[in-house]
Amino acid sequence: MQDVYNIAIIGGGILGASLAYFLSSVSHSKIILIEQECDVAVHTSSRNTGKVHAPFIYDPVKKKIFAKAASLGYEMWQAYSHYKKILFKQDGVLEVANDQLSIDRLHKYMEWGEANGLRREHDFKFLDRNETKVIEPNVHCSSAIYCSKDASVDYGSLTKNLIQDCQLFGCTVLIGHRVKRILRSTGNSMLTLVLEQGNEKKINTEFVVNAAGGNSVDIAHSLGIAMELTDFHFKGEYWLAPPEYNDLTKISIYSVPKYPEYPFLDPHWVVRVDGRCEVGPNAVPVFGPYAYNLSKNLKCLVPKIFESLRTSGARKIFFDKQFLFLASNELKSSLSKTTMINRTREFLPQLRASAFIQRGTSGIRSCLIDKDGKFLPDTLIIKKDDSLHILNYNSPGATGALPMAAIIVNRLIEDGVVVPNPSGASKSLWDIRSISEKMQL
């Protein structure tokens, strides 16, 4: 490992891996990717539903970046999976509604889908009750959207393949080292990253890209960036369906969220790429980005309370009656299996809570709130001086990781942070300038 790098990427999840892939493919810069765990894709990049989401559920105005990234992500993951001989299962998805408010929302989704590039009747279509029964006889609903341009993959495996590629392209990958703090060197333009793995280790870099997921806002704060924002963490829990339900549906079934301005989604019926079926997720508030169990949650409790007292947004959300009501309902679904399964029984009444005996893998989503106590609807990319920070990067984060990384790397080239290969050749499957033009951000 060298002591000095041109670019250091913090975070070995699917976004960090995608950034390393494109950066190392277009330049001879000395690049290092730093991951705190002993492997890549340990957290959200593996602890998700594995869905390549269609962009019809994303508002093209409020969630412009997410919508664009999801729209391009489908073709890019399909191409990469084919290239790597990794299963890309185009199985489609149903979004169902059982009340008038949700049906109205489906019509809005049809408008959004077209605005985000989906073709009505070809990629997705609106269905009545009887048309839905033709596709999935066991699903009960008043109306639905069927989208064929939705797929299932193993994002953990895809992330590891990206890491292998970026290493072949010359990127250094350092795992098992946590970035403890970032120092500005006096007398030169370098940043010093203080790493922790038992003993402290230091590396110097000209530029930092912060793709640290649940830790990203803390890293931004350490450089005095986005100080008005704070993060809240929500654990998504799942129940694994017993074998008797494996043929209940062919595809995943989602329901329209009742409160889309909050990070609380009604549990889905998820059919994974390997055929496993699950119910989930809920969204239980926790005190840390990796607080998967009670002991870790309690360890983060006191620091999070003190942090929340210092920020106006956190204080305000504690007086948001709607948020508190929804959070208490999510806690009920965590404590009661029946409460969780019954939500899904609204469209799959054949399910019996007593049949579910094994929990699935939990994941944690970290959401940002502003100084007014409102959740940020879209991702936030902040470039300042010698660092760039990707904040509030949530679902469909895995779906959009490749196009998101491509536009960020193209921006770094345009800003002179990255010097491309003299020949202009790229070792990746895509031309990042072309991807950036399609994103039109």
- Boundaries of every domain in the chain: 1-88+152-229+377-441
The residues near 409 (Cβ < 8 Å, ≥ 6 apart) are: 19, 22, 23, 26, 418, 432
CA distance 403 to 79: 13
pLDDT (average), residues 276-281: 95
Handedness of CA 400, 404, 407, 410 (dihedral sign): negative
Architecture (CATH level 2) of domain 1-88+152-229+377-441 = 3-Layer(bba) Sandwich (3.50)
DSSP helix/strand/coil, 238: coil
Band of residue 35 on the pLDDT scale cut at 50, 70, 90: very high
What integer pLDDT is reported at residue 311 of this predicted model? 84
pLDDT (average), residues 375-404: 94
CA distance 119 to 314: 41
pLDDT (average), residues 75-88: 97
Yes or no: say if 183 and 73 are a contact pair by the CB < 8 Å rule: no
Transcribe 89-148 into DSSP letters: EE--EEEEE-SHHHHHHHHHHHHHHHHTTPPBTTTEEEEEHHHHHHH-TT---SEEEEES
pLDDT (average), residues 227-238: 94
Transcribe 343-402 into DSSP letters: HHTTT-TT--GGG--EE---EEEEEEE-TTS-B--S-EEEEETTEEEEES--SSTTTTHH
CA distance 81 to 260: 31
What integer pLDDT is reported at residue 146 of this predicted model? 98
pLDDT at 441 over 70: no
pLDDT (average), residues 318-333: 90
Average pLDDT over the chain reads 92
Q: Nearest Cα to 250, choosing from 134, 143, 88?
A: 134
pLDDT at 2 over 70: no
pLDDT (average), residues 276-298: 93
**What tens digit of pLDDT does each residue of 419-440 get?**
888 776 778 999 999 998 988 7
19-23, 73-77, 368-372, 435-439: range with lowest mean pLDDT:
435-439
**What tens digit of pLDDT does each residue of 159-185 get?**
999 999 999 999 999 999 999 889 887
What integer pLDDT is reported at residue 133 of this predicted model? 97
What integer pLDDT is reported at residue 387 of this predicted model? 96
- Vertex 336, ends 332 and 340: CA angle to 5°? 80
CA distance 249 to 272: 12
Yes or no: say if 206 and 8 are a contact pair by the CB < 8 Å rule: no
**What tens digit of pLDDT does each residue of 84-123 get?**
999 999 999 999 999 999 999 999 999 999 999 999 999 9
Question: In this structure, what are the phi and psi dihedrals at residue 220, rounded to the nearest 5 degrees?
Answer: -60, -45
Q: Is 319 exposed, middle or buried (0-12, 13-18, 19+ CB in 10 A)?
A: exposed
Residues above pLDDT 70, as percent of the chain:
98
pLDDT (average), residues 203-229: 94
Q: Two tokens at 35?
A: 């991951």
Q: Nearest Cα to 170, choosing from 23, 329, 355?
A: 23
What integer pLDDT is reported at residue 301 of this predicted model? 87
Question: In this structure, what are the phi and psi dihedrals at residue 409, rounded to the nearest 5 degrees?
Answer: -65, -40
Alpha-carbon separation of residue 205 from 124, 141, 171, 213 (angstroms): 46, 55, 14, 20
